[in-house]
Homo-oligomer: A and B are copies of this chain.
Amino acid sequence: MYTLSEENYLKAIYRVSQQKDVKITPTAIAETLGNNPASVVDMIRKLTEKQLIAYDKKAGVKLTPQGSKDAILIVRRHRLWEVFLLEKLGYHWDEIHDIAEELEHISDATLADRLDKFLGFPEYDPHGDPIPKANGKVPKSFSVTLTDLKPGTACRVAAVRDTSNAFLQYLIKLDIGIGTRIQLIEKIPFDNSLVISINGKENTTVSQKFGENILID
């Protein structure tokens, strides 16, 4: 099917296009993949030839229907493997991403669907990201963050935006996971810090950046 690199580009473009409603530039892709814009330009040419993306200097990079379909399949595989690693092999939250990054490239025609069935057709991965269905449909993803909450109200953690180890390990330390209940006690006007109560326990203060990375239900 595709080379490892091609798949990583497709996925990166898909992810960037999901996150924000902005134009996808070579530089943005390079930053996501941690490589050089010059390399990205090469790959843009290659993927354009293969009709997986369209590139217009004004509009930026866009996935074609085929590219979108293929990118979604890669994301599907990634997220299914994450569920497998956590639920079946007992890995922790912060350990699964990198392994899934390798597993997602295994391209057998029926593997994803078999894995999906084996796992009981999960809708969300361990970070709360929606797992695309076999038909390409993607369950709704969460977009409201902790910073959007009104002081005094409560919510349930539905997903995390940042999936870096640094963030996930901080969450483990704070005893926050998907499903954890959080009440916003107050916002500190000075720097938008948030005073929260986790699962009804004593108050904790977290930064605005932290709050923006917690997606709620």
Does A103 count as interface, using CB distance less than 8 angstroms?
A: yes
Q: A90's contact among B89, B106, B114, by CB below 8 Å, is which?
A: B114
Contact call A108/B118, Cβ cutoff below 8 A: no
The copy count of this chain in the complex is 2
How many chain A residues sit at the interface, stated as a range, is 10 to 19
Does A111 count as interface, using CB distance less than 8 angstroms?
A: yes
What's the least CB distance linking A146 to chain B, in Å?
Answer: 32
Instruction: Pick from A103, A108, A118 the residue with the most CB of B within 10 Å.
Output: A108
Q: A111's contact among B89, B105, B114, by CB below 8 Å, is which?
A: B89
Contact call A114/B102, Cβ cutoff below 8 A: no
- A–B pairs, 16, beta carbons within 8 Å: A88-B118, A89-B111, A89-B114, A89-B115, A89-B118, A90-B114, A91-B114, A98-B108, A99-B106, A99-B108, A99-B111, A102-B105, A102-B106, A102-B107, A103-B103, A103-B106
CB-CB contacts of A79-102 with B at 8 A, as 1s and 0s? 000000000111100000011001
- Residues of chain B within 8 A of A107, CB atoms compared: 102
**Complex CA–CA separation, A89 to B91 (angstroms):** 20
